Chains A and B, each alone.
Chain A
């Protein structure tokens, strides 16, 4: 028993997965956001029949194509990693993960590949209506693909709609709708797609500001800016509202993630939300008396309200979650030690069940199957050596959360300002606003990546919340092999990214082609 896994294997496997996922996420949000903006612009062309819009949409479509070409299939590397580095996980999640990914693959292949071709090859060859429909269907296809990926991810945060089968050693889906439409999946989809829309709007606004800075293509730039500003403002406000829904869900199903995001060690009712602060590097243990956050600026009662829609809601801190005993909707919370005990009972029951089945002892098998089912919600806790292993990286989550939220607030102000500026043309010629607009592009990428850091690093140590920690999910590989592929990816991704940036900048400098009217 207890053949432990080298901690550096876990770290390298996680680093490799994070690198690939974060790289993949450089391309997906722009596909989602820019795709919709292009569809809106082409709709303007279809309605007005003004060739200006055709020229405009063709320019943005070119940049969309560059992003699509460099980004396409980068997600497949994640699937390679599942089979090699995360084989226990891949087997354990069974069809729950496989079904959404298969649907995503089929959708992506048939919808995107078919209609992307019409979008690029079909100008003047198919009817305007069919071309417009293809542009919309490309965008809708990409968005539906995102839905299934996010359903799979949401299930890892909130595993519902399944039952563990000790014979197959797999979680088997028993309620497809619960998996596909869990509140976490729905909210994650809305929040994530909206963040892609914000990025798309920031991208269009930033490049339009560059043209204004260079005093080129002014009519094109202002028209693009107006669409980006309206679209970006609506998307960023809706994204903030969806973000509130995410915080509510996290508080309900992943209280430790919320506590890490807030560096909250001892919870209270009327708990405030830290707007700004510095994580105290001197805090060494979850139960010492060192204050966790220095120089904090707090919004009173806000966290309690966010989590429970009532300022009297008790928000547990890290120490509360480890010690247990605080009120929840299901009675008093269990301590980490109690959960670890139940987890070990569940794993022992799995071992005894399989022994009993081999020996043909039906009664013992049934007894252990029942014991496993009863304790399965705590299965993953049986792999923990000490309660402290439950604590995610607090500074990482704390700062990533504030970067995401802070930039989210900034985008609302930015797009509102750009919108006003679009109708007061004088403002648009100001160099300050032009540079702010250009620099907003990287900020949108940073906000998106920070969001994923909160989502994924906040779930640690779990691969599947409460059920499977990373230490049990990974394959027993040599650390050196994972290190090798990590650095292979660093080189490959860097080359591809440089190629994209170079081609993208070259095409931006060329500007829209042909006459505008």
Chain B
């Protein structure tokens, strides 16, 4: 039999025959959905991109300015 089909069948049968695994996969998928579709998008944007620091030069300038401004005079 085709090895790719073997592997696919291995996974398909494995998932189909799960008992406890179904609950655990449901938890994993809900968790990943919360993390990537809610937390990442609405609560954890990339700070530099969010502040319009897109190019490498803009990021370098922003960080160096921040590091210099925050120093104790």
CA distance A54 to B46 in the complex (A): 47
Please name the residue on chain B nearest to A513 by beta carbon: B19
Q: Chain B CB within 10 Å — which of A70, A92, A121, A477 has the most?
A: A121
Residues of A within 8 A of B66 (CB): 88, 472, 476
- Segment 6-50 of B: residues with Cβ below 8 Å from A: 10-11, 13-15, 17, 20-21, 23-25, 27-28, 31-32, 34-35, 39-40, 43-48
- Complex contact B28–A385 (CB within 8 A): no
User: How distant is A286 from chain B, measured CB to nearest CB, in Å?
Assistant: 19
CA distance A475 to B48 in the complex (A): 9
Contact of A88 among B14, B34, B35, B67 (CB under 8 A): B67
CA distance A70 to B28 in the complex (A): 7
Residues of B within 8 A of A87 (CB): 46-48, 63
Q: How many A-B residue pairs have CB under 8 A?
A: 127
Question: How many residues on the A side are at the interface (Cβ–Cβ under 8 A)?
Answer: 58
Decide yes or no: A384 and B35 within 8 Å by CB, A80-B44, A88-B63 being known contacts. no
- Complex contact A503–B45 (CB within 8 A): no
- Complex contact A73–B31 (CB within 8 A): yes
- Complex contact A503–B72 (CB within 8 A): no
Interface flags for A475-517 (1: CB within 8 Å of B; 0: not) read 1110001001100100010001001000100010000000000
CA distance A328 to B13 in the complex (A): 64
Please name the residue on chain A nearest to B16 by beta carbon: A121
User: How distant is B26 from chain A, measured CB to nearest CB, in Å?
Assistant: 9
Contact of B68 with A by CB under 8 A: yes
Contact of A83 among B23, B46, B60 (CB under 8 A): B46
Interface flags for A341-371 (1: CB within 8 Å of B; 0: not) read 0011001101100100000000000000000
Q: Chain B binding site: helix, strand, loop or mixed by DSSP? A: helix
- Complex contact B68–A351 (CB within 8 A): yes
Contact of A436 with B by CB under 8 A: no
Decide yes or no: A76 and B35 within 8 Å by CB, A66-B24, A88-B66 being known contacts. yes
- Segment 154-203 of A: residues with Cβ below 8 Å from B: 166-169
CA distance A354 to B70 in the complex (A): 16
Q: Chain B CB within 10 Å — which of A166, A344, A351 has the most?
A: A351
User: How distant is A270 from chain B, measured CB to nearest CB, in Å?
Assistant: 38
Contact of B2 with A by CB under 8 A: no
Residues of B within 8 A of A66 (CB): 20, 24
Contact of B73 with A by CB under 8 A: yes
Please name the residue on chain A nearest to B7 by beta carbon: A117
Contact of A471 with B by CB under 8 A: yes
User: How distant is A288 from chain B, measured CB to nearest CB, in Å?
Assistant: 25
Decide yes or no: A383 and B72 within 8 Å by CB, A83-B44, A84-B46 being known contacts. yes
Contact of A65 with B by CB under 8 A: yes
- Complex contact B40–A80 (CB within 8 A): yes
- Complex contact B24–A350 (CB within 8 A): no
Please name the residue on chain B nearest to A385 by beta carbon: B72
Decide yes or no: A347 and B44 within 8 Å by CB, A2-B73, A117-B11 being known contacts. no
- Complex contact B63–A169 (CB within 8 A): yes
Contact of B71 with A by CB under 8 A: yes
User: How distant is B45 from chain A, measured CB to nearest CB, in Å?
Assistant: 6
Residues of B within 8 A of A475 (CB): 47
- Complex contact B69–A91 (CB within 8 A): no
7 intermolecular pairs with C-beta atoms under 8 Å apart:
A2-B69, A2-B70, A66-B20, A83-B45, A122-B10, A472-B70, A477-B47
Interface residues of A (CB under 8 A from B): 1-5, 62, 65-66, 69-70, 72-73, 76-77, 80-81, 83-85, 87-88, 91-92, 117, 120-122, 125, 166-169, 340, 343-344, 347-348, 350-351, 354, 382-385, 471-472, 475-477, 481, 484-485, 488, 492, 496, 499, 503, 507
**Closest CB pairs A-B (n = 6):** A121-B14, A69-B24, A87-B47, A80-B44, A347-B71, A475-B47
Known: A66-B20, A122-B14. 9 other contacts (CB 8 A): A1-B68, A84-B45, A88-B67, A121-B17, A166-B64, A169-B64, A340-B72, A485-B39, A488-B39
